[in-house]
Structure 1
């Protein structure tokens, strides 16, 4: 099933996006998040990191909708980020005009042209985007949650298992970065339905992300020097965000994940974070682990997709 293409509301026009539009797109997303979540989470660095992936072509993957009557201000955008993943946002002041339906039709056609058999996006539950996608026939694939460590709350002490060490990845050592990529992709591909992310694309979102510092990528090794865990944490939206955390399958159950989270959130607070948070979803089975260490659900999301 797919959306029948619908015209844009009169007076609006479309244009190709460039890297210079990242701030305007971030503003659109943040405006939606403020309405749907009460506070924005996305930073312009998140947008630029995705757009700067070597495998990604912005000119053919995204389109903006602008209002000439408002000086050409961007009021919506949609992005076929790759495979079956799309991102979109509509200025809350322009919602309900049919723009979202046009965006859905555009990205479905673009994904179909690239050989995709489905396309979808993750949106806050019960948001305007969620209701529109449901009306257009998008089915729920999974539920996701943002979890936050409340301000002033400290996670229970979680020392590393005996013989293990935790350190920054060495920025001058490509082997450290490749090992982190391999481990984290192995962990995520246990449940994620997508191809393995190329090393350069992974790097664009991690060590090449604007503002990256050595403490953002942390590695756990066992007594034999074997990498068994990795964490990617960075500052975003005024908080410390754990973007990725993974432990090698055969080393789980030793408390390594809890120790890595304690370490990540402590480092984020040392670097000025006023809140600490992460995301998980129903495919991982990790919700209970995070709640057990004191985190609380701050928002609920649904991932919806449509067959093409």
Structure 2
């Protein structure tokens, strides 16, 4: 059948239907992605909050950029054009081999093209069914990324900060109790440091403060201590880390550093290691029993994380195609 989302049609095998995604589908999308990750890499990295945070970005309308595939009433696959050159998709392992992934790849390309993108890509576990499918469809490898974990019982060694520097939780805006995207000097500083650093290697438009806030201080489950900053003797934010407390299948909690950045003129002073040690230590104090983060080949940071004792637990490849 053909089910349009906007002006783009999706052709599916018999027995499946499709419709635009809605905000209420976040749980179903999470369950499909979790099943795929468990099958392909043995662990579940995604959280439902990750999806909600993406979908609540200002100006993003999931009904216009996302589609779900259903078997009966159950969501079994999905695809979305997130923004710019970024897409995402997943097919539940029990529904692979029927052409759904190929159909979703075509849908994503057409949706991205209609939005003005000239290239679109997504991360897939290296060597997985998704990786092989995209390669067969002509997608090229753009970069590799890695999930790294700190071995059980290990800690990142403290790195003394230069005199006058401090690492601490970011200070809330004056009206921060409602978790609005109100700005405080620390929030502004963390956003600026992250965007300045990430745009050194990421080819995309600069995120607005509101877009940054949607994925950090407005992310479901956010607590003020999750955003860590390093400030210099003048009180200027020169480093930041954003921490996520991720529940695991065995009931434990893993500390995941979702973002880590230092100002360009402050590198070589150990701020990154100090932030790692601080974030993981505070997370342990709040019940985390394991620690992880991810990085990719564009950043050149893999060696830093391995040097402080972290080890690669899974490897991903970002595959893209020109439109």
TM-score by length of 2: 0.91
Shift of residue 159, structure 1, vs aligned partner: 2.1
Q: Kindly report which structure 2 residues correspond to 1:143-162, keeping only aligned pairs within 5 A, or say none.
A: 143-162=144-163
SS across alignment from 1:231:
strand
Task: Tell me if the contact between 1:55 and 1:201 (Cα under 8 Å) persists in the aligned partners.
Answer: no
Question: Do 2:10 and 2:107's aligned partners in 1 also have CA atoms closer than 8 Å?
Answer: no
Q: Quick check: 1:262 aligned with 2:262?
A: no
Matched, 1:225 2:251: no
> Per-residue CA shift, 1:51-99, capped at 9, x if unaligned?
011121111010000012xxx1001000110001011110000011100
- CA distance in structure 2 between the partners assigned to 1:198 and 1:13 by the alignment: 36
- Hey, what's the Cα distance between the residues in 2 that align with 1:166 and 1:172? 18
Q: Does 1:64 align with 2:68?
A: yes
What are the equivalent positions in structure 2 for 1:73-152 lying under 5 Å apart? 73-152=74-153
Distance in 1 between residues matched to 2:237 and 2:212, nearest whole Å: 18
Question: 1:55 and 1:263 mapped to 2: Cα distance?
Answer: 34
Q: Give 1:165's aligned residue.
A: 166
Q: Partners in 2 of 1:245 and 1:304 — Cα distance?
A: 24
Equivalent residue, structure 2, for 1:204: 214
* Equivalent pair of 2:189/2:238 in contact (CA under 8 Å): no
Q: Quote how far apart the aligned CAs of 1:168 are.
A: 1.3
Q: Which moved more, 1:43-52 or 1:170-179?
A: 170-179
The whole-number CA distance in structure 2 between the counterparts of 1:190 and 1:18 is 34
Alpha-carbon distance in 2 for matches of 1:93, 1:31: 9
Number of positions where the alignment pairs a residue of Structure 1 with one of Structure 2 = 301
Report if the CA contact (8 A) 2:186-2:237 is conserved: no
- 8 Å Cα contact 1:6-1:101 kept in structure 2: no
Match of 2:40 in 1: 36
Residues 26-54 of structure 1 show CA distances to partners (whole Å, capped at 9, x for unaligned) of 00000011011111111111110000111
Query: Which residue does the alignment assign to 2:4?
Result: none
User: Structure 1, residues 141-197: CA drift from partner, whole Å, max 9, x if none?
Assistant: 001100111111112221222210112112225232122111100000000011101
**Structure 2 CA distance for aligned equivalents of residues 197 and 128 of structure 1:** 32
Distance 1:87 1:171 in 2: 33
1:299 aligns to 2:314 (yes or no): yes
4+ long deviations beyond 2 Å: none
SS of aligned partner of 1:147: strand
Which structure 2 residues correspond to residues 282-297 of structure 1 after superposition, within 5 A?
Answer: 282-297=297-312
CA distance in 2, matches of 1:97, 1:203: 39
TM-score norm. by structure 1 comes to: 0.95
Question: How many Å separate the matches in 2 of 1:232 and 1:206?
Answer: 7
Q: What are the superposed Cα offsets for residues 197-250 of structure 1, whole Å, 9 maximum, x if unpaired?
A: 121111010000011011111111111222211111111243111011111111
Q: Whole-Å Cα distance in 2 between the matches of residues 251 and 157 of structure 1? A: 18
Alignment match, 1:193: 203
Q: Which structure 1 segments of 5+ residues have no match?
A: none
Instruction: Indicate conservation of the 8 Å contact 2:255/2:283, yes or no.
Output: yes
How far apart are the structure 2 equivalents of 1:303 and 1:191?
15
RMSD value, Cα:
1.1
Separation in structure 1 between the aligned mates of residue 24 and residue 155 of structure 2, nearest angstrom: 40
1:274 to 277, 285, 289: 289
Asked if structure 1 preserves the Cα contact closer than 8 Å seen for 2:189 and 2:236, the reply is no
